[in-house]
Amino acid sequence: MRTETDAATGGTLDAHVTVHRRDGFRLDVAIGASPGEVVAVMGPSGAGKSTLVAAIAGLVRLDAGFVRLDGREVASATRHVPPEQRGAVLLGQDARLFPHLSARDNVAFGLRARGVTRSVAARDADMWLERVGLGGWGGRRPSELSGGQQQRVALARALATHPRLLLLDEPLTSLDAETAGDVRALLHEQLTAVHATAVVVTHDAVDAAALARRLLVVEGGVVVQEGSVQRVLAAPATRFAAAVSGLNRVVGTARDGTWTSPDAALALHAADEHSRVEASADGVALAALVRPSSVHLGTVDDAPSVPGEWTAHVVRLEPTPAGVRVHTGDPAVAVDVAADTVAALGLDRGARVRLRVDPADVRFVRVSE
């Protein structure tokens, strides 16, 4: 078997997963990964992300399509290789440790199931616990570990067997922000160290950016956008993707080089070259993308509006680590402000405000992108 110094390399994934659930939901997603590649899958709740990785792992049967690992077909409408024979490991939100076993024995379990001797399995388990920052904790049971520590043990158990494919189904969701950050950094470090091939399901753009090279956005059971993480987050194609990317996305129409919102409340001239090209085609539907921090908010007065200004009503206030996010309507735009600004302007639901954006801070992309 491999040792710590061996250069482990992940396998290849080639899959087209089609699943028809009893509730009428249909999943139809094609996904692939080359050796050592980490692919992120993002989407809203109910999009089919967990069903996708469960089907690849062998926990859900296919109605059509296929799953191939290292070129070997392990699933189709007529073929179903058991999960334990696929060479893939699924790690979810719950660490699912055996409560009666120590951390060491939990990590060693998969190795023992593959015929590794007790002494070698214990040695390798201690090695992996050391690698995930739990050296000396091998004798503790899950009840004696925090949530973050349990997830570290689960990661060590998953990596100890050197899977050809690692499937991570929102493994950080149940952790607090600080612990999630620590485990995220650990994941990146270990996935890189063993050149793992992995599919990471997440709802967090930070996870995608930190862990993956390529990103699939899944909504309603289908892929709505795919590309490098940087490209997808910079030019999200849907409202969900924009929200996760931290961008406002307002769909409007281009005419004579000017973008106008549906209610004509806001008109913007294209500033960058890409946006000018897109806005030059009359009647084309374009999405205006702008960061909440780039939108300026003030009180409504009698001064006439200038280009890039419009008035709106506050829909709700949302606390953020840096202050308050003010959500406005018609068009739906979020604005980040300091907490004292809310008090100074008397902002509350229904308040009328004036918003302004510099065209240089706005990018236009085709709605079909």
Residue 4: band (very low, low, confident or very high) from pLDDT cuts 50, 70, 90: very low
The pTM of this model reads 0.83
pLDDT tens-digit map of 15-68: 999 999 989 999 999 999 999 999 999 999 999 999 999 999 999 999 999 999
End-to-end CA distance of the chain: 46
Task: Determine contact, residues 335/325, Cβ cutoff 8 Å.
Answer: yes
Residue 199: band (very low, low, confident or very high) from pLDDT cuts 50, 70, 90: very high
When mean pLDDT is compared across 99-108, 170-179, 345-354, the lowest value belongs to 170-179
Alpha-carbon distance 54 to 61, whole Å? Answer: 9
* DSSP one-letter string for 12-57: -EEEEEEEE-TTS-EEEEEEEE-TT-EEEEE--TTSSHHHHHHHHH
Average pLDDT over residues 188-215: 92
CATH domain 13-234 topology = Rossmann fold (3.40.50)
**pLDDT reported for residue 138:** 92
**Residue 247 is encoded by which pair of tokens?**
């961008």
Residue 175: band (very low, low, confident or very high) from pLDDT cuts 50, 70, 90: confident
Average pLDDT over residues 94-122: 91
Same fold, 13-234 and 247-366: no
Residue 303: band (very low, low, confident or very high) from pLDDT cuts 50, 70, 90: low
Residue 1: band (very low, low, confident or very high) from pLDDT cuts 50, 70, 90: very low
Residue with tokens 């929200």: 243
Average pLDDT over residues 332-351: 92
Residue 265: band (very low, low, confident or very high) from pLDDT cuts 50, 70, 90: confident
pLDDT tens-digit map of 238-256: 989 998 898 999 998 888 7
To 10 degrees, the CA torsion angle through 129, 131, 135, 138?
0
Check whether 147 has a pLDDT greater than 90.
Answer: no
349, burial (CB in 10 Å: exposed 0-12, middle 13-18, buried 19+): exposed
Check whether 285 has a pLDDT greater than 90.
Answer: no
Average pLDDT over residues 344-357: 92
Check whether 317 has a pLDDT greater than 80.
Answer: yes
Phi-psi region of 77 (alpha: psi -120 to 50; beta: other; left: phi over 0): alpha
Average pLDDT over residues 330-342: 91
Average pLDDT over residues 137-165: 91
Domain boundaries, the chain: 13-234, 247-366
Instruction: Looking at the structure, give the CATH architecture of the domain made up of residues 247-366.
Output: Beta Barrel (2.40)
Find, among 215, 218, 249, 248, the residue nearest to 233 by Cα: 215
Alpha-carbon distance 38 to 339, whole Å? Answer: 38
**pLDDT reported for residue 64:** 98
